[in-house]
Amino acid sequence: MSTTIAPTTRAAASATEPLVAVRWNRVAERLWAGTHDGEFFGTIEFTGGAFEVSDDRGLYLGRAHSLAAAKRIIDQPDQQEPAVLEWRDGRRVMMFGWIGFVSAAVAAVTIATQLFI
């Protein structure tokens, strides 16, 4: 007698669902608190242009560009979120962009004053 084991549809569906059912409540304008079965689960706070995630002990878990990605960081800790933007690289590019813009504006004003005054 042989037994065949086939995966159920529930097992396949659970791979796409969050591992833990967490309820998120908006506590303040830029702060969300998560609970699981009535127990505190963690927080998500929007600071510095990104969502920062902390667990139930206040330990920093990561940073995300969207609220949904921040929820995935705490809901599914085993799955690594891909980095969309390296923060330091992005800031450096923005800094050089603003320096170039200001330099061009100063040059344009200097040329205009030389031509018309």
What is the value of pTM for the model shown? Answer: 0.51
- H-helix or E-strand spanning residue 51: strand 50-55
Q: Give yes or no: residues 71 and 28 share one domain.
A: yes
Please tell me the predicted confidence (pLDDT) of residue 7: 44
User: Is the confidence at residue 83, as pLDDT, over 70?
Assistant: no
Can you tell me the distance from the alpha carbon of 73 to that of 11, in angstroms, rounded to the nearest whole number?
22
Whether 86 shows a pLDDT value over 80: the answer reads: no
Mean pLDDT of 28-55: 91
How high does pLDDT run on average in the chain? 77
Written as six digits, the tokens of 109 are: 């004003």
Number of domains in the chain: 2
Structural domain for 51, as ranges: 11-75
Q: Does 24 fall in a domain? A: yes
Q: Is residue 71 part of a domain?
A: yes
List pLDDT tens digits, range 45-62. Answer: 998 888 999 988 988 888
Same domain, 108 and 52: no
Q: Given pLDDT bands bounded at 50, 70 and 90, which one contains residue 28? A: very high
Is there a domain that residue 6 lies in? Answer: no
The amino acid at residue 27 is V
Which residue would you say has higher pLDDT here, 19 or 97? 97
Question: Is the same domain home to 67 and 15?
Answer: yes
**Do 70 and 112 belong to one domain?**
no
What's the rounded Cα separation, in Å, for the pair 72 and 66? 10
Residues 67 and 103 both lie in one domain: no
Distance CA 116, CA 106 (A): 16
In a domain, 58, yes or no: yes
Per-residue model confidence as pLDDT tens digits over 94-115 = 888 899 999 999 999 999 999 8
Q: Is 90 a member of any domain?
A: yes
The pLDDT score that the predictor gives to residue 37 is: 86
